Amino acid sequence: MTALPFLIIETGQPFPGLRRYGRFPHWIRVAAGLAPAQTVVVDVQQGEPLPDRGRFAAAIVTGSAAYVTDRADWSERSADWLREAAHAGLPLLGICYGHQLLAHALGGQVDYNPAGRESGTIRLDLEPAAAGDPLFAGLPASFAAQATHLQTVLRAPEGATVLARSAQDNCHAFRWGTQAWGLQFHPEFATHHMRGYVRARADCIARHGGCARRVAREVSAAPEARRLLRRFVHHARAA
């Protein structure tokens, strides 16, 4: 029996200078250890319709330069699909914009982070509940992750379990139910992706009191965060 493919919901494009590395779904697929034939990509930002969820083992939602608070039609339609999929028990993983969109879909609050832009290789601290989580169990209590965002989940959905925080963000990861996760950080980013984003966002980093050159120098590998994508794939296949 052929295993069901993974749906990658594409919500945006990398900066032009990073597109030589491919689009977000490619970055995610490589980090997750999935072959091209094991994924189906739907570009919702460009108006492509979301398919029947029953055709897929799971869905992964990419990051985006868009803002959930803009309530774009494509974004709200995607939120409706994610809400129904979450309640139906489809394994879901939202990354950055996807994390925020999933939280919004399930009744959480998304807005600009009062602490300002978070960029570069950051330190994640796991909440006690992470010890019993299917994706986070066994990981170090504190580890590196890649992040670049202005908006965040200010309030997780009702009933959700917050799994990780950083110095600037109290909800860097959550689980809703037993099959849906949001990650504010980017497990698919390698160091060259992260440095590229720091360079592209240098002016914004400066406006928020940071120094892009220093942030770029401090970028380092984040293997524990990257491992979460393969853990999600394994969990979804076993569900």
In whole angstroms, give the CA distance from residue 105 to residue 75: 10
Indicate if 218 belongs to the active site: no
What is the DSSP annotation of 146-187? EEEESEEEEEPPTT-EEEEE-SS-S-SEEEETTTEEEESS-T
Burial of 230 (0-12, 13-18, 19+ CB in 10 A): middle
The CA-atom distances, in angstroms, between 92 and each of 37, 79, 147, 190 are 19, 12, 20, 22
Among 80, 29, 90, residue whose Cα is nearest residue 59: 90
Task: Give residue for tokens 């524990």.
Answer: 224
Check if 171 is active-site.
Answer: no
Catalytic residue among 99, 172, 186, 193: 186
Q: Which residue in 10, 96, 104, 172 is the catalytic one? A: 96
158 part of the active site = no
Residue 156's identity, in one-letter code, is A
In DSSP terms, which residues pair with 59 in a beta bridge? Answer: 7, 92
The two three-digit tokens of residue 11, written as one number: 């919500």
User: What's the angle, vertex CA 65, arms to CA 60 and CA 71, rounded to 5?
Assistant: 80
Residues catalogued as catalytic = 96, 186, 188
